[in-house]
Amino acid sequence: MYYEYYIMGLILIPGIILSIYASIKVNVTFNRYNEILSRNGNTADIIARNVLNQAGLTNISIVRTRGHLTDYYHPKKKLIALSNSVYGNSSISAIGVALHEVGHALQYKNNYLPIKIRNLIIPICNFANRFLWISILIGGIFYYTPLGQIFLWIGVGIFALSVLFNLVTLPIEFDASRRAIKILSATGELDEEELYGAKKVLNSAGLTYVAGLVVSILNLLRLLLVVLDKKD
């Protein structure tokens, strides 16, 4: 019945709402604490540089990259890229985001297990995703044939890999934020009140990864309903 297809579409609504909320939350929280400068006055890039040096990671460079909240750590290139809103900024938000990326660098240094697992999954996911929509398209065209069912189940497997990737990403991101707060507390770069603000910023950013996991799970569930649908 047609109403079943509407239900399949409605399944994604909670994930979409959560994603929108997470996006708004991270921007509002970042902007709020971006207006509050740290009492120490050190900029995010300088603090990140000092922490990296103290950890013996002098080979990791820190560069500026365009965009807003486009910060990342590139393990192969050994660099931390800080966005225009973070690099050279001494706000609570900027410092928290910069140290989050330092946390990722420390994860690689310490051979953090979830990082190893994700690195094993990434090439598999990249290869499989090339065939995702092809398998779903062929599966849809030949839905009532064994060939169609095979291709649809291949699509389910690829979506399951996406769920696994997002699931492994969660502890990585939350651990990087935990490391950031721990470092900022130990070094005294932020006092207790400032640390509270940094936590708020990083927790709101973590919500975006939770939303990503929820959306991937709902997409997998929706495809499973299509594959398991037995009507003629």
Mean pLDDT of the chain: 89
13 vs 86 pLDDT, higher one: 86
Sign of CA dihedral 11, 13, 14, 20: positive
Residue 155 predicted with pLDDT over 50 = yes
Q: What angle do CA 99, 101, 104 make, to 5 degrees?
A: 115
Dump pLDDT digits (tens) for 187-230.
Answer: 999 999 999 999 999 999 999 999 999 999 998 888 888 777 65
**β-strands 72-74, 79-83 pairing:** antiparallel
Give the Cα separation of 179 and 198 in Å (integer). Answer: 12
In this structure, are residues 112 and 169 in contact, taking their beta carbons and an 8 Å threshold?
no
101 catalytic residue (yes or no):
yes
Contact assessment for residue 142 and residue 148, using Cβ atoms and an 8 Å cutoff: yes
Give pLDDT tens digits for 156-199. Answer: 888 899 899 999 999 999 999 999 999 999 999 999 999 999 99
76-99 per-residue burial string, b: 16 or more CB within 10 A, e: under 16: eeebbbbbebbbebbbbbbbbbbb
Catalytic residue among 4, 35, 101, 189: 101
Backbone angles phi, psi at 91, to 5 degrees: -75, 160
> What amino acid occupies position 189?
E
Task: Tell me what percent of the residues of the chain surpass a pLDDT of 70.
Answer: 94
Q: CA 214, 216, 221 angle in degrees (round to 5)?
A: 95
pLDDT the model gives residue 224: 83
Which residues lie closer than 8 Å to 182 by C-beta, 6 or more apart?
A: none
Tell which residue, 148, 67, 150, 51, has the closest CA to residue 106. Answer: 51
Mean pLDDT of 20-26: 94
| Helix/strand/coil (H/E/C) assignment for every residue in 160-222 | HHHHHHHHHHHHHHHHHHHHHHHHHHHHCCCCHHHHHHHHHHHHHHHHHHHHHHHHHHHHHHH
**Residue 8 binned pLDDT confidence (cut-offs 50, 70, 90):** low
